[in-house]
């Protein structure tokens, strides 16, 4: 149900419309649930101050203050910006997919209870390709 003035902007585009604004790699990952090669991502090891936005619709997804080094080869965050990310269990029940709440773009998977020394003990394992970083001094 829509509520006036809410921040839950919904972005709906066809595959053709997404293809027009995304790179082939962004389209493969965001819209077709692909995965980038581990340790290949632009944001794997960056810890600058700022916000990570959705590469598809630019919705803010993660703050740099929640990013940590998980050693897994992809950017890792211990929590998303509240309401920005949807969690859906995969059909095989093993993993939980995370998607942008605004456009449905595939981000990666979330793993919980692994013992990381973070406030949530959750690891949002996110493809760099799904993100666009905005430095704090540019926001």
Q: Min. distance of Cβ 70 from Zn ion in angstroms?
A: 23
- CA distances (Å), 57 to each of 13, 40, 94, in order? 10, 23, 28
Sheet-wide strand order for 50-54: 60-63, 50-54, 131-135
Under the binding rule (CB under 5 A), the answer on residue 108 touching Zn ion is: no
Structure tokens that stand for 127 in this block: 């493809």
125 carries an active-site annotation: yes
Catalytic residue among 54, 57, 103, 125: 125
- With residue 42 as reference, give the H or E element that holds it: none
Please report how close the Cβ of residue 124 comes to Zn ion at its closest, in angstroms. 15
Shortest distance, CB of residue 93 to Zn ion, whole angstroms? Answer: 25
CA–CA separation, 7 vs 84, rounded Å?
Answer: 10
Joined together, the tokens standing for residue 107 give: 């981000």
Residue 52 · residue 42 · CB < 8 Å:
no
Min dist CB 34 to Zn ion, Å, is 16
Q: Is the CB of 105 or the CB of 116 nearer to Zn ion?
A: 105
Site string for Zn ion, 65-104 (x = CB under 5 A): -----------------------------------x-xx-
Measuring CA to CA, how many Å separate 53 from each of 58, 92, 95, 131? 5, 29, 23, 6
Pick between residue 50 and residue 105 the one whose CB is nearest to Zn ion.
Answer: 105
Q: Return the active site residues.
A: 125
In the complex, which residues of this chain contact Zn ion (CB under 5 A)?
Answer: 54, 56-57, 59, 100, 102-103, 105
């Amino acid at each position: 149900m829509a509520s006036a003035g809410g921040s839950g902007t919904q972005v709906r585009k066809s595959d053709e419309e997404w293809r027009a604004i995304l790179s082939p790699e962004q389209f493969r990952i965001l819209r077709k649930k692909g995965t980038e090669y581990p340790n290949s991502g632009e944001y794997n090891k960056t810890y600058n101050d700022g916000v990570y936005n959705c590469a598809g619709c630019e919705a803010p997804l993660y703050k740099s203050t929640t990013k940590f080094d998980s050693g897994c080869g992809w950017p890792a965050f211990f929590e998303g910006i509240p309401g920005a990310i949807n969690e859906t269990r995969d059909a095989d029940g093993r993993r939980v997919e995370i998607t942008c709440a605004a456009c449905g773009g595939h981000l990666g998977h979330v793993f919980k209870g692994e013992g990381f020394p973070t406030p949530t003990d959750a690891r949002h394992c996110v493809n760099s390709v799904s993100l666009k970083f905005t430095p704090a001094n540019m926001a």
